[in-house]
Amino acid sequence: MNDAVLSLREVRKSYREADGNRLDVIQVGQFELAAGDQIALVGSSGSGKSTLLNLIAGILLPDAGVVCVNGTDITQLPEAKRDRFRAGNIGYVFQSFNLLQGFTALENVRLGQMFGNGTGDAVELLKKVDLAHRLHHKPRALSVGEQQRVAIARALVNAPALVLADEPTGSLDAANGTAVLELLRQVCTEGRHTLLMVTHDPAVMRHFERVVRLEELR
Ligand code: ADP
Ligand code: MG
């Protein structure tokens, strides 16, 4: 194993469709990210971006290939260990936030923390994403931009080596989208977290020095 934070080798994933045929979605030959890398991975809608992130997070298993995060081939871990590994090593930010509606901003971040090593400081992170005044608000009482900032704090609270973001600005207007994007990049830079963001939005790509197209990975 080398010291790449993320390393993919010959990863294949297909889905079985209703008519019984297989739909080949992911074919990645080789792909690596090092500590502190920040890249935008782009592809059109339906090209397999979310599928690839779910393979990297160990939410989905590939049909073939190796997915190494911090030197661990997560495809070889049984499900419970994979879940625990994800909680401690990977932060995931979704387009639709996926916050628990019955819990406050602070509770949402603390819940994320509980599944990891528990060492992060939830209040400190919420301050960092400019939500010190919103700790005890539930998601419905927050703007969409604020909700996504809670989700960013939750994703970062266990200081994950790898941060995955699936079109995180897709539900936000342009101004909020830019703010969230720059915030996510800034906290990843400060903590030297590797950031892999998928998007189909040219306005998002322009924020990244490194842009990789999904089809280039074959
Ligand atoms: P993207 O995130 O780039 O829009 P997805 O990874 O969500 O793309 O989906 C890639 C392709 O796989 C699409 O054609 C989608 O319809 C199909 N797909 C996604 N999930 C499933 C599933 N669970 N079963 C069957 N097909 C799926
Ligand atoms: Mg998607």
Q: Please give the distance, rounded to the nearest whole angstrom, from the Cα atom of residue 43 to the centre of ligand 2.
A: 9
Q: What is the pLDDT of residues 132-184, one digit of tens each?
A: 999 999 999 999 999 999 999 999 999 999 999 999 999 999 999 999 999 99
Q: Please give the distance, rounded to the nearest whole angstrom, from the Cα atom of residue 136 to the centre of ligand 2.
A: 31
Q: What is the pLDDT of residues 31-90, one digit of tens each?
A: 999 999 999 999 999 999 999 999 999 999 999 999 999 999 999 999 999 999 999 999
**Topology of the domain comprising 36-48+78-217:** Rossmann fold (3.40.50)
pLDDT at 215: 92
Query: Which residue has a Cα nearest atom 23 of ligand 1?
Result: 15
Which residues, judged by CB distance below 6 Å to any ligand atom, belong to the binding site of ligand 1? Answer: 15, 23, 25, 43, 45-51
Residue boundaries of the structural domains of the chain: 36-48+78-217
Tokens of 206: 């322009």
Given CA atoms 178, 98, 160, 111 in this order, what sign does their dihedral have? positive
Query: Which residue has a Cα nearest atom 21 of ligand 1?
Result: 15
Measured between alpha carbons, how far is 82 from 75 in angstroms, rounded to an integer? 8
Q: What is residue 188's DSSP assignment?
A: H
Query: Which residue has a Cα nearest atom 1 of ligand 1?
Result: 46
Angle in degrees, 0-180, between the axes of helices 105-114 and 144-156, rounded to the nearest 10? 20
pLDDT at 48: 96
* pLDDT (average), residues 117-139: 92
Residue 208 pLDDT > 90, yes or no?
yes
pTM over 0.85: yes
